[in-house]
Structure 1
């Protein structure tokens, strides 16, 4: 056999010996692999909090105006967005007391209300974002908008949950392949023992990004001008831990 062929044969023997040593040294090794998945989707649901509040010396008069305005506002919202879901959040009646500055040594008498503050809240959920600005402006003629947040509808959340599970599992397989290559092993040598979708971390909170959601007040028009809303998007995250052994 020629000298070059002897060198090649020796190199192959050394390589095989090294691979055998690597396989032997990592056989039965337990490897813990964290994985991460993320999906993003445009928000398709809005939750608005409307309110009506009145003040009057006469509690009955204040309550009557609140009841009338809330009824008008509810009818407006149902007319503008028939598919919206409405829910009464609360009704309150508070006395208004005068400011009292007791004189030195004078007895403090029990305060007597000088008026009453009456109010009611209404929560509105809708997926009709195209008509949201118009609906809000119409309702603001008799009600105030106290809060607005965007998110994902239940149907969209279900679809995204399936996608983020698949994305997280794909990331696990990709990392297993990278780890196997670094250990000089084949991905097929790894046998998954455990997959824990909540052990390394729970489901991440939904991060809702609302960009520029604002209201533009009318200057001279008798009715409220339509506000401008940017629904933004929601990012759902998931972490898992996989435990595997190399044969």
Structure 2
């Protein structure tokens, strides 16, 4: 007998033995807790960009004034390029810049300047126009971070599909478990479905895997900036549920 034939014979024998053992075990009234999961891979439809500006000057007021002017210019540019984008300014900071003195001393180092900056968060679903918007804004602001993901509207639309995929997985697992127990699928009665996963048997659903873009280097404010290239990618969303099944 060939090696492959021996392996096939062993597999058939093991299956028959398990089936016979399952049939010999009393399973009437057995409660089975079955976790199930569903997953969808969806193209991203939203971008969240963080733009920033930072100035340094010996005069704190002069540095702050330049930051304020550039941020206003940047906001106007983004609004003009993408009127539907949602904008939010945050993280305004002012830090003293101290003189470098390698010699050990107890005297405080003198302040030689000030560093002032601010951030602008831009959220948009206009992915086609995103390169133009960013390039225009980079004339005065820097691109600090860019992240693609799913908009709330897209997530709500996918909820029904995700529930269907998860419930389908539950039914498939119930059928597999019934077969392993030597029972028919219609012997199983689904008593509870826990979409919250509140029991200790439930696994935590993984967070959607968003595609992160690296920070872009600033270009001189006087020069026109070439359009960057972006690939929005996709996001994997998942759902877990737990079903309690009793066999008649």
TM-score of the aligned structures, taking structure 1 as reference length: 0.83
1:123, 1:216 → 2: CA distance? 17
Question: Are 1:208 and 2:206 counterparts?
Answer: no
Question: Are 1:184 and 2:182 counterparts?
Answer: yes
* Runs of 5+ unmatched residues, structure 2: 1-18
In the TM superposition, what whole-angstrom CA distance separates every residue of 1:91-145 from its partner, at most 9, and x where no partner exists? 0111111012446xxx632332110001010000000000000000000000000
Quick check: 2:145–2:214 contact (8 Å CA) kept in 1? no
Aligned twin of 2:3? none
| Higher Rg | 1
Provide the alpha-carbon RMSD of the alignment: 2.6
2:209, 2:88 → 1: CA distance? 25
| Farther-moved stretch of structure 1 (232-241 vs 51-60) | 232-241
1:88, 1:63 → 2: CA distance? 15
1:91, 1:214 → 2: CA distance? 19
Quick check: 2:46–2:150 contact (8 Å CA) kept in 1? yes
Quick check: 1:40–1:235 contact (8 Å CA) kept in 2? yes
Aligned twin of 1:73? 74
Quick check: 2:142–2:218 contact (8 Å CA) kept in 1? no
In the TM superposition, what whole-angstrom CA distance separates every residue of 1:171-199 from its partner, at most 9, and x where no partner exists? 10111112222323221111112222213
CA displacement at 1:32 relative to structure 2: 1.9
Map 1:43-192; keep pairs closer than 5 Å: 43-102=44-103, 108-192=106-190
1:182, 1:190 → 2: CA distance? 13
Aligned twin of 2:32? 31
2:123, 2:135 → 1: CA distance? 16
The total of aligned residue pairs comes to 224
Q: In the superposition, relative to structure 1, how do residues 233 and 137 fare at CA in structure 2: closer, same or farther (>3 Å)?
A: same
SS at match of 1:129: coil
Aligned twin of 2:228? 227
SS at match of 2:146: strand
Quick check: 2:143–2:218 contact (8 Å CA) kept in 1? no
Quick check: 1:49–1:122 contact (8 Å CA) kept in 2? yes
* Runs of 5+ unmatched residues, structure 1: 1-17
| Farther-moved stretch of structure 1 (122-131 vs 181-190) | 181-190
Q: In the superposition, relative to structure 1, how do residues 116 and 215 fare at CA in structure 2: closer, same or farther (>3 Å)?
A: closer
